[in-house]
Amino acid sequence: MRLDLRRWLRVARSKIRRRGPDQPASPARSKARLRWVLRTVLALAILVVLVPAAAFGIGWYVFPAPTPDDVVISQIAKINFSDGKPMATVRPDGAGNRVKIALAQVPQHVQQAVLSAEDRSFFSNPGFDIVGIARAAWAQLTGRAGGGSTITQQYIKLTTGQDQHSFWRKYKEVIGAAKIAQEYSKERILEDYLNTIYLGRGAYGIQAAAQAYFGVDTGKLTVSQGALLAGLIQSPSRWDPATDPGMATQRWNYVLDGMVAEHWLSPADRAAAQFPQTLPQSSVKGGIPGNHLGHVVKQVQAELTDLGITEQSLTQDGLTITTTVDEGLEQQAADISAKVLKGQLPNLRTALVAVDPRTGGIVAYYGGDNGVGLDYARVLKQPGSSFKPFVMTAALLHKPPIGIYSYFDGSSPQTIAGQTVSNSDGDSCDECDLKEAMTKSINTIFYQLGVEVGPPAVAAAAHQAGIPANLLPNPTAGISLGDKEVRPGDMASAYATFAAGGVFRAPHLITKVETADGRVLVDNPASPAQLRIDPQVARNVTESMLDVAGSSLIPLSRSREVAAKTGTTQSHVVGQNNDGWTVGYTPTLSTAVWVGTNDNSPIKTPAGRPIYGRMVPGSIWQQFMNAALSSTPPERFPEFQPLGEDSESFWDDDDDDDDDHGRHHGRHHRDRDSDDDDDDSDDN
């Protein structure tokens, strides 16, 4: 239509320009021009009057007048597994428990606060604002924001769940607004609106909001409290005073000033008003499963916020959220965890997170069976020796690289950089290379290695692999033995980077988000790939861990190639341990398992002996990995070529036997008494 109007203007101008300013028009030409003008006026009249009137009439009979109960449909969010099967239905507490109240129960000053915020001409307008609609239409045509809606139009939008920016939505909105304005009294419309409007904190309707923000019934709301709630209507989740006190205060002032302008509030009362205190911010909780899936749902909600999708959208837009979680693997994680813990002491807790290295998608997320309790997959814990692969990464990135076949002194105890270090969860060796040290989890060697490359380099390597940047602050030499806290998901994701040949993909739970009206808010099948670590370095780190699972008596079935590392954190109680870990991966699956307690007490067997990472955590990890990969053929990692100054001493170009896969023992020695090592120690 915009192009037709421009074409008409161009034609009109061209007709005028054909005749000079002083050139008289002939009678025939004048009559022709008059006929053209009349036809144009008639066409415009049809376009401006008759077509809208016809459209209005059709819409009047087609679109029903909505009721407050219609909003229930748009309040439900569906969260699905990766294959589209339902996982959970989220219904906000305020929606499920909304208490409808009569307008007479809403104080006059609260009604006026809402009118001040949203529609000061409510009682005099026909239900829609022609100027506002024209302004919105112009904004649509010019690609700008703008426009405005009456309370009656907002009520239509809320009850139909239609809030997309389109002429069709505005058309339906105007019809609905005019219809209910004709059928219902203004008081009835305002009452329905106040029982329908979303005000944040999962609260639908003024009564739920009064309870959520102030813990009182609507009838007890003060002028100041009513003004705060009214000011939140346009963006309740963002303008909640617990989230943005500055904007909440600005809106509160706007409402009160509007009440003064409309003579609903005296200047003296306005001057005496004080910004009200609210209760602590609540969150959307309705519909969260009480079992292990509850933790998944809460993490999905958190990820929605990270994606810019607000709580309001979650509770209003009828979202359908497709996750990366595999239903079968999720259930396996829960079942296997429960089975392994069944024979253990009742205070043990566990968490399991599994990531697909090819996409970054979290295919299983288990934080415990109590979905509304503590999520153990989110608890920060020291990873112990399962952090050693990052020390190995830093060594390979060192200049010159320190390869996995470099030899170190593995005796125990040793005094290293002024600290006494002993081997606990592993054997000792007078002299062994880094691959054997990784397999046997020899603390003295990795502590030496961490000192040589420097603790900051170890932290940097872990961050490159995927440990979040806000973790591992102020690292010291103890970082080599995992003294900095991480989460199971962090470890599964960082190990996945090694599995993917150094390519990091951000871990995520959401692949697609759609609204009830078909809009796609998120469509992200895979995280963007970032080459964080040189592929040869990543492959060398993998090589260093290939013997760990077998040595720890938790190999995978069918001789499946797997890189893994166990870890144990010592307790303050002498001879006991606090946390146990097993983390490992194949080319297509990276899984981290943590076992501990909810009060940081020692983890023990029923016989009272300490639990190590290879034991209960290792059993859960082994059983889950076997179950998850049972239907896929064994895969091998890419061809291995060693890095490091020791590589030429063992690498045999003629040895290309696939079965050997290029694995040899090196002969390069690292002597901590050498001048080179003394220099390195001094540097760090």
Q: Which two tokens stand for residue 370?
A: 């109590």
Cα 149 to Cα 252: distance, rounded to the nearest angstrom: 20
Pairing of strands 406-410, 668-669: parallel
* Spatial distance between the Cα atoms of 333 and 365, rounded to a whole number of angstroms: 8
**Residue 138 parent element (H or E):** helix 130-142
Task: Give me 442's structure tokens.
Answer: 């020899």
**On the CB side of 58, how many CA atoms lie within 13 Å of its CA?**
8
- When computed from its CA atoms, the radius of gyration of the chain, rounded to whole angstroms, is 34
SS3 595: strand
The pair of three-digit structure tokens given for residue 574, joined into one six-digit string = 């002498």
> Tokens representing 404?
């996995």
- Cα–Cα distance measured from residue 93 to residue 96, given in angstroms and rounded to the nearest whole number: 5
DSSP alpha helix (H) spans, 545-615: 548-551
Handedness of CA 131, 133, 139, 144 (dihedral sign): positive
Going through 254-359 in order, the beta strands assigned E by DSSP cover 320-323, 348-355
> Which residues make beta-bridge pairs with 429?
410
Q: How far apart are CA 653 and CA 425, in angstroms?
A: 36
Tokens encoding 582: 């097993």
Instruction: Quote the Cα angle for 98-103-105, to 5°.
Output: 80
Contact yes or no for 511/323 (Cβ under 8 A): yes
List the catalytic residue out of 82, 116, 118, 173.
Answer: 118
Question: From CA 638, how far away is CA 539, in angstroms rounded?
Answer: 7
* C-alpha span between 581 and 539 (Å, rounded): 22
CA distances in angstroms from 409 to 212, 225, 427, 528, 672, listed in the order given: 63, 70, 13, 42, 8
Residue where the block lists tokens 């022609």: 130
User: What's the 3-state SS for 461-501?
Assistant: HHHHHCCCCCCCCCCCHHHHHCCCCECHHHHHHHHHHHHCC
DSSP secondary structure code for residue 104 in this structure: G
Active site includes 385? yes
Contact 266, 272 (CB under 8 A): no
Peptide bond into 413 cis (omega under 30): yes
Catalytic hit among 74, 149, 237, 385? 385
Q: Are strands 589-597 and 668-669 parallel, antiparallel or unpaired?
A: unpaired
Residue 330 bears catalytic tag? no
Query: Known catalytic residues?
Result: 118, 385
